[in-house]
Amino acid sequence: MSEFTPEKTLDAKGLKCPMPVVKTSKEIKSISVGGVLEVLATDPGSMADITAWTKSTGNELLKAEKDEGVFKFYLRRVK
Amino acid sequence: MSEDSQKCTIIVFSGDMDKVFAAFIIATTAAAMGMETTMFFTFWGLKAIQKGNVTGKGLFGRMLGLMNRGGIDRLGPSKFNFFGLGRWMFKKMMKDQNVATLPEMLEMAIDLDVKMLACLMSMDVMEISQDDLIDEVDDVVGAATMLAEAQQSQVQYFI
């Protein structure tokens, strides 16, 4: 389905602020530089927050989409 | 952390559940965003990093230690506490919403290498010793140390 092959998937569904961001920051360190992390979240705030997090940390947000109430993010670890 | 790492300093003055909660949300998020984060606990805020034993030696210190007992799980909300009923209610409402608990937030902050500093002067006044604080407290310091941290921080909060 997706044009990115995630190295890992973080299931942050059901978690509220700030957990999706906090867990993302931990998980991204577990994949290789250049690798893609898929994050699944249901918190509507995560759309703005994950975007802000990538901007602030310098990682790349490849794609953000909403699929039946679940937000899917594809993040590339830059450093 | 990156070479152009930003810093965040949070002064936790309040010992109210809701305010301490806000402080920990900001601290964990700042750390997650790659910021070097410091929390400076002073006065009522010390309750959040106390082990929870009864503190104090003299009459007033002991009284304070009994009536204002520390421990992050004992904190009550700034409004609507009603002798602990409000604390119970908020805990339940947060749990129902799947929000992390205060002890979990503290654990997370420690895990994210948030630096924990305690204010020496207010510890002296309130008769709280370093042994009364959780082991994860990095240092017991004065205002100048906190200000030196804050001076280098792009983000500072007083809660």
Cα distance between residue B147 and residue B83, in whole Å:
36
CATH architecture assignment, domain B7-158? 3-Layer(aba) Sandwich (3.40)
Of the residues A17, A22, A52, A70, which is catalytic? A17
Residue A20, helix vs strand vs coil: helix
The reported pLDDT for the residue numbered B1 is 44
Among the partner residues A19, A22, A56, nearest to B34 by beta-carbon distance: A56
* A25 interaction partners in chain B (CB closer than 8 Å): 31-34, 112
Task: Tell me if residue A42 is catalytic.
Answer: no
Query: Where do the structural domains in chain A lie, given as residue ranges?
Result: 8-76
* Tens-binned pLDDT, residue by residue, of chain B (159 aa): 445 679 999 999 999 999 999 999 999 999 999 999 999 999 999 999 999 999 999 999 999 999 999 999 999 999 998 988 999 999 999 999 989 999 999 999 999 999 999 999 999 999 999 999 999 999 999 999 999 999 999 999 999
Q: Give this complex's ipTM.
A: 0.83
**H/E stretch holding A65:** strand A60-67
Cα distance between residue B123 and residue B107, in whole Å:
22
Query: Where do the structural domains in chain B lie, given as residue ranges?
Result: 7-158
The reported pLDDT for the residue numbered B2 is 47
Nearest CA in chain B to A13: B98
Q: Of B23, B39, B119, B113, give the one whose Cα is nearest residue B75.
A: B23
Q: What token pair was written down for B53?
A: 């034993």
**pLDDT tops 50 at residue A34:** yes
Nearest CA in chain B to A14: B98
Cα distance between residue B147 and residue A77, in whole Å:
34
**Radius of gyration, CA atoms only, chain A:** 11
The reported pLDDT for the residue numbered B4 is 66
Q: Please judge whether A16 and B97 are an interchain contact, meaning their C-beta atoms are less than 8 angstroms apart.
A: yes
Domain A8-76 belongs in CATH node 3.30.110.40: yes
Conformational region of residue B80, where left means phi above 0, alpha means psi within -120 to 50, and beta covers everything else: left
Assess contact for B121 and B142: CB atoms under 8 A: yes
Among the partner residues B25, B33, B108, nearest to A53 by beta-carbon distance: B33
For the segment A67-71, the average pLDDT, to the nearest whole number, is 93
Q: Of A39, A66, A57, give the one whose Cα is nearest residue B31.
A: A57
Mean pLDDT of chain A: 93
